[in-house]
């Protein structure tokens, strides 16, 4: 299994909430486009995304082809403290996956 | 009210609503850009460029940390805000991308053809290292005021040649850069075009390149911007790192002096 390109994750405490912003590196091919030879470019996209805070799931999502290339994901959850670990994990339609982590600032 | 004045009033309203439709489209595009600013994928290119900058590469297996982009070997902070500039070792005025190629050839041992074989990337199969490196170096000038000097005679020459190119009309459409970029309120499709003959226009345009192009899903550099303008003008292909590209860059960069550099940006 290939390992995707690194994500960029920022997590910051705002009051009693933690705001997480993630930039992912992915082609997100819809399967609708054709190349210069007229051949369909096969679909290839992130299918599932999981975010954990100190090992506990805070977001889980199933994605499709309507998500843009190089997706940007932003979400908030209640709780979190400075120094806590946020882990983002995705799996795409080819079975490639990637996990990156960040520390709440 | 007479019938005639009613008609006049109606006509006036129609004009007003057309004008407001135009400004509201422009406003919506501005809002769209602002919404994207927070998660600008250009950061992914910056991160990859930083890794490339610090990696041992090429036949000689050396990093870019010996590469002088104007402020001494390995110094990137604020360097882009002073480019293009004259480099004595190359005896030539160079923009950032030309200088990066120069370092890849002189320091890392690549052939010139290898160094610039992929200046503009296309998807994950054809990533451009030069675009990533450019994104990294330019990001290190964010917040720095543009200050492109015309001290050396070759810098003055580049500026003059660039100015000439800007106003030079040619091609099948008899276009010059100034045809589209010499007046306020010009558009291409729904995009407002900057008036590069005014200081604010030049500053706003120059300080936001390189930029992530949402419609292409790629980060594009200033050399790409000029290359694509030449294509749109139906001019001959602008050669990467050519004297013409550097001269035009010098002209536009110097005109943007005093503006705060704010790239890599994000464009539609």
Q: What is the pLDDT of residues B245-258, one digit of tens each?
A: 999 999 999 999 99
The domain defined by B42-267 folds into Cytochrome Bc1 Complex; Chain D, domain 2 (1.10.760)
Instruction: Classify residue A2: in a domain, yes or no.
Output: no
Instruction: Classify residue A31: in a domain, yes or no.
Output: yes
Q: Does A12 touch chain B (CB under 8 A)?
A: no
Instruction: Classify residue A1: in a domain, yes or no.
Output: no
Q: Does A101 touch chain B (CB under 8 A)?
A: no
Whole-model pTM: value is: 0.84
Count other C-beta atoms under 10 Å from residue B242's C-beta: 14
Candidates A20, A69, A22, A24; CA nearest to A44 is A69
Cα(B68)–Cα(B130) distance, rounded to whole angstroms? Answer: 16
Residue contact A69–B217, C-beta within 8 A:
yes
Catalytic site includes residue B229? yes
Exactly one of B15, B67, B180, B229 is catalytic; name it: B229
pLDDT in tens, chain A (105 residues): 356 788 999 999 989 999 999 999 999 999 999 988 999 999 999 999 999 999 999 999 999 999 999 999 999 999 989 999 999 999 999 999 999 999 999
Question: What domain range includes position A87?
Answer: 8-103
Q: Residue B111 in contact with residue B211, Cβ under 8 Å?
A: no
Cα(B265)–Cα(B209) distance, rounded to whole angstroms? Answer: 6
Kindly report the backbone phi and psi dihedral angles of residue B260, in degrees, each rounded to the nearest multiple of 5, phi listed first: -85, 125
Residues paired with B113 in a beta bridge: none
Reported ipTM: the value is: 0.78
Render B22-43 in DSSP notation, one character per residue.
Answer: HHHHHHHHHHHHHHHHTT-THH
- Domain of A14, CATH number, reads 2.60.40.10
**Pairing mode, if any, of strands A46-53 and A56-62?**
antiparallel
The residue of A70, A92, A100 whose CB has the most chain B CBs within 10 angstroms, and thus the best one to mutate to test that interface, is A70
Residue contact A72–B123, C-beta within 8 A:
no
Measured between beta carbons, which residues in chain B are less than 8 angstroms from residue A68?
214, 217
């Amino acid at each position: 299994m290939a390992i995707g390109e690194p994500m960029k994750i920022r997590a910051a405490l705002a009051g009693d909430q933690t705001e997480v912003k993630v930039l992912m590196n992915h082609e997100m091919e819809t399967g609708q486009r054709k190349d210069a030879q007229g051949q369909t470019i096969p679909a290839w996209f992130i299918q599932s995304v999981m975010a954990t805070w100190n090992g506990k799931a805070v977001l889980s999502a199933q994605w499709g082809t309507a998500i843009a290339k190089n997706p940007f994901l932003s979400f908030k959850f209640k709780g979190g403290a400075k120094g806590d670990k946020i882990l983002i994990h995705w799996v795409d339609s080819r079975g490639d996956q990637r996990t990156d982590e960040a520390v709440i600032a | 009210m007479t019938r005639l004045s009613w008609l006049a009033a109606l006509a006036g309203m129609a004009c007003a609503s057309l004008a407001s439709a135009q400004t509201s489209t422009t406003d919506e595009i501005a809002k769209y850009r602002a919404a994207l600013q927070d998660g600008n994928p250009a950061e992914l290119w910056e991160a990859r460029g930083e890794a490339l900058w610090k990696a041992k590469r090429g036949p000689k297996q050396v990093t870019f940390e010996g590469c002088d982009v104007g402020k001494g070997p390995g110094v990137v902070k604020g360097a882009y805000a002073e480019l293009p500039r004259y480099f004595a070792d190359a005896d030539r005025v160079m923009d950032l991308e030309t200088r990066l190629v120069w370092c890849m050839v002189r320091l890392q041992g690549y052939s010139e053809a290898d160094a610039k074989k992929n200046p503009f990337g296309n998807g994950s199969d054809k990533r451009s290292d030069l675009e990533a490196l450019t994104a990294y170096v330019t990001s290190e000038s964010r917040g720095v005021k543009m200050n492109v000097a015309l001290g050396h005679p070759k810098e003055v020459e580049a500026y003059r040649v660039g100015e000439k190119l800007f106003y030079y009309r040619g091609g099948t459409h008899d276009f010059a850069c100034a045809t589209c970029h010499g007046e306020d309120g010009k558009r291409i499709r729904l995009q407002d075009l900057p008036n590069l003959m005014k200081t604010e226009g030049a500053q706003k345009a120059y300080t936001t390149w390189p930029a992530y192009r949402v419609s292409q899903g790629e980060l594009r550099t200033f050399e790409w911007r000029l290359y694509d303008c030449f294509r749109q003008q139906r001019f001959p292909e602008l050669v990467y790192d050519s004297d013409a590209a550097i001269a035009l860059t010098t002209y536009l960069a110097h005109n943007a002096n005093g503006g705060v550099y704010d790239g890599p940006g994000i464009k539609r």
